[in-house]
Amino acid sequence: MNSSYLNRLFHSSEPLRGPEKDYYELLGVTKNASQSDIKKAYYALAKKYHPDTNKDTSAKEKFVQVQEAYEVLSDEEKRAQYDQWGSSFEEQPTGAGGFSGGVNFEGFGFGNPPDIFEHVFGFGGPKASTWGGGFSTGPHVQLNIPFMEAVSGAKKTITIDAISTCKPCNGRGTKGGTKPDKCMTCKGSGVRYVPVAAGFQVQSTCPDCKGKGVKIRSENRCHVCGGQGQVNEPRQVTIDIPAVDDEMKMRIPRQGDVPIGRSGLPGDLIVRIKVVPHDVFKRQGNNIIVEAPVPFYKAILGGFIRVPTVDGDVELKIPPGSQPEQQALMKKRGIKSINSRARGDQIVIFKVNLPTSLAPKQKELIEEFVKLSGGFSTSSTTTNSKNSFLKKLFKKLKNKL
């Protein structure tokens, strides 16, 4: 199907908009509901209003609304856009120009013609699972991990709520020894044809069998899934986490939901990483920032201190006359890059510690230093920077005591 055909179906006039839809209200959840809460609410409502199990005249419409709400709220990106723009978020222009002239579908992210019709008309093409590989989407979960595991990597096993194929009926939705009946509305094809313009028509999913081509009698439905073919159940997933940063996302193939209402492979599980802050280490890109206490006498005379790193404590040389807040660079002591073998550095910030009390002899020696330094006279123009630092430090120490 080429773009010239599609341009005949659509034009650049302002789209008609229906009333605003509250997807959160449709699913009966709050705006800050978790993905797990949204999934549980959806599955319960989908089961309640499924046309095969609920013969109320309004059930079919309600079922479609619930599916639409879940499709948006289960996708983090769509949910964020919906929260900003409302249910018309998909009509918002992606650039300043909006629509102009004909329709260019390349920038819309549609992978095939049925995706276009599902987006514009609200229904999919025939046997939707045959398009795009028949994969489902989601779910999205958040995983909190300690700072050190984010630096070095870890293996984690998590439990998620996932929509899975019903094992007793193997996804068929029928009891053992029974078969579904052919849908008489679509004659088993799973599709219907809708005219969209003079001489043109498009295929849409049959509203009675939802594209399956078959229907299940109530007495033949699987007692576990109620004819759905899928169940919502906990699943354990083991994840190999590399060195990651806060708010990174991992895609775990084939560990998500199976397509609802049709056959197909499970979708991908999206895991958002949340790194728990560390008491000592602060991350800055691939570098690590550490504040290290330095005794005042080592700041004056120089020496060595033990500094924590992600690889364990190491000795760091303190140069004589080191200043408060002075920084030292420890090469290759940072975090390994995700995409290369490169490694960041560790930056150590000196925190010079002054004593809160002195023994008489210590005080005597400091006073002697004061005398030898000329009483900390500031009139001399020959005082070098190191002596100036020492005088300031001892003056601060004397005032503190």
3-state SS, one letter per residue, for 292-353: EEEEHHHHHHCEEEEECCCCCCEEEEECCCCCCCCEEEECCCCCECCCCCCECCEEEEEEEE
Domains in the chain: how many in total? 3
- The pLDDT score that the predictor gives to residue 222 is 93
- The pLDDT score that the predictor gives to residue 376 is 57
Domain shared by 39 and 83, yes or no: yes
> Would residue 194 be called left, alpha or beta, if left means φ above 0 and alpha means ψ between -120 and 50 degrees?
beta
Domain shared by 29 and 60, yes or no: yes
- The pLDDT score that the predictor gives to residue 201 is 77
Q: What is the pLDDT along the chain (401 residues), one digit of tens a residue?
A: 444 433 443 333 344 444 567 899 999 999 889 988 898 898 888 888 887 778 888 888 888 888 888 888 988 888 888 887 775 555 444 443 333 333 333 333 333 433 433 333 333 333 333 333 344 456 789 999 999 999 999 999 999 999 999 999 998 899 988 999 999 989 898 888 877 666 677 788 888 887 888 999 989 999 999 988 899 999 999 999 988 999 999 999 989 898 876 667 888 999 999 999 999 999 999 999 999 999 999 999 999 999 999 999 999 999 999 999 999 999 999 999 887 889 999 999 999 998 888 899 988 988 888 888 776 554 444 445 555 555 566 666 656 55
Domain shared by 335 and 364, yes or no: no
Domain shared by 25 and 67, yes or no: yes
- The pLDDT score that the predictor gives to residue 394 is 62
| 383: in domain | yes
Domain shared by 13 and 75, yes or no: yes
Domain shared by 334 and 363, yes or no: no
List residues bridging with 303 in a β-sheet: 318
Cα–Cα distance, 283 to 400 (Å, whole number):
34
| 399: in domain | yes
| 259: in domain | no
| 60: in domain | yes
Q: What is the pTM of this model?
A: 0.56
In this structure, the number of other CB atoms found within 10 A of the CB of residue 163 comes to: 24
Domain shared by 336 and 365, yes or no: no
Cα–Cα distance, 133 to 194 (Å, whole number):
25
Domain shared by 335 and 385, yes or no: no
Q: Which of 43, 63, 90 is the last residue of a domain?
A: 90
Burial 191-217 (b: 16+ CB within 10 A, else e): bbeeeeeeeeebbbbbebbbbbbbbbe
| 72: in domain | yes
| Domain span at 17 | 1-90
- The pLDDT score that the predictor gives to residue 90 is 54
Domain shared by 317 and 359, yes or no: no
Q: What letter would DSSP give residue 246? A: T
